[in-house]
Structure 1
Amino acid sequence: MVEQSVFRGTIDFFGRLGIYDVILPFLLVFTIVFAILEKTKIFGMEEIEGKKYPRKNLDAMVAFVIAFFVIASSKLVEVITQVSSQVVILLLLSILFLMLVGSFHKETPEGFFLPGGWNTTFMIIMFVGIIAIFLNAIKTEGGQSWLSFIMDFINTKWNTDWVASLIL
């Protein structure tokens, strides 16, 4: 039998400790909610020495509470874990695609950007991919993902008149 490496043992220990099921989802939700609250300035601004700043104390408290509510639900943590792992794969694919496309273009001082409509097309493809990832992560009561439920529904109703009228 092959011995485990020290790193594999450490990762297994972190899993038993709850790093992946509790701490990392908490930090992810807290960070995203806090950033959104800071950016939108929902709780207003406070003035300190003549400068205006967002109310970080309120933003942090609300983000903290929301993150705790999220990790209290094991279903939400499961969705977050599945979605984040698949979004990382989508991000990796997009970076590899851009590296491939960039290797065939000349280098400019501004860098490389997809020209014209290709940028919009790429963003739409990424958005559809993220929607598909979320639909695949959310399950019905029977354990079937929403994405497979929608695909099964479309497959069984594909020959009906209303689907043809929607396509037109």
Structure 2
Amino acid sequence: MASSFGNAIGFMGELGVYDVVLPFLMIFTLVFAILEKTKIYGTEKIGGQEYTRKNLNGMTAFVMAFFVVASTRLVAVINEVLASTVLLLLLSVCFLLLAGSFHSGKEEFFLKGGWNKLFMFIMFIGIVLIFLHALGWLDIIWVSLIHNFDSVITSTIVLLVIVVVAIVYITGGFDKKKSGGSKEG
């Protein structure tokens, strides 16, 4: 039966479900949700209650989703970014499974201190690298960095990053506790 499911998935791919329908639905949903939440087109009163202008929000989301689907390059970037992001999410879940296997389970398990912010920063950097790779810019940046490492600009950037990291490390980071006042006397 595995080949029947494989054939069904292949058939949906030939129909354009993955290249047209799913990207259209995703962009439509995201744009519609953002427009509903931000109320850019305002609200209207119906029966004494305020509602967002769903007709304008829906039409704008519909048009934007069609524009995105019309560009095969954008659809390819979306497909690559989503696939890589799912891999990053799977990697983080596997890490949490491994970290949880060393936990006793008697109390809840949370990352304390700066660890949660460190992992959020690592995930953010991962997402940025995924987008840069999907757009084809990561290869350009990497090749430029490797071939021009002796240039003044690259050396200056590396030095500035080292100085900023050293200053943040020495000063204790951005999350210093503020003291309410001294209790002398």
What TM-score do the two structures reach when normalised by structure 2? 0.79
Q: One-letter code of the match for 1:46?
A: E
Deviations 1:103-150 (A, max 9, x none): 3335477x5432121111111111111111111111xxxxxx210110
CA distance in 2: counterparts of 1:20 and 1:92, whole angstroms = 21
* Equivalent pairs, count: 159
Q: One-letter code of the match for 2:158?
A: I
Deviations 1:76-123 (A, max 9, x none): 1111111111111111111221222233335477x5432121111111
Taking a change above 3 Å as real, the CA distance of residues 48 and 147 of structure 1, as seen in their structure-2 partners, is: same
> Mapping of 1:1-168 within 5 angstroms?
5-107=3-105, 111-138=108-135, 145-168=136-159
Q: One-letter code of the match for 2:57?
A: D
Matched-pair identity in %: 53
Q: One-letter code of the match for 1:89?
A: L
What TM-score do the two structures reach when normalised by structure 1? 0.86
Q: Please name the residue that 2:174 is paired with.
A: none
Q: One-letter code of the match for 1:162?
A: I
Larger radius of gyration: 2
Root mean square deviation, CA, Å: 1.9
CA distance in 2: counterparts of 1:14 and 1:68, whole angstroms = 20
Q: One-letter code of the match for 1:21?
A: D
Unaligned runs of 5+ in 1: 139-144
Q: One-letter code of the match for 1:161?
A: V
Deviations 1:16-40 (A, max 9, x none): 1110110011011111111111221
Unaligned runs of 5+ in 2: 160-185
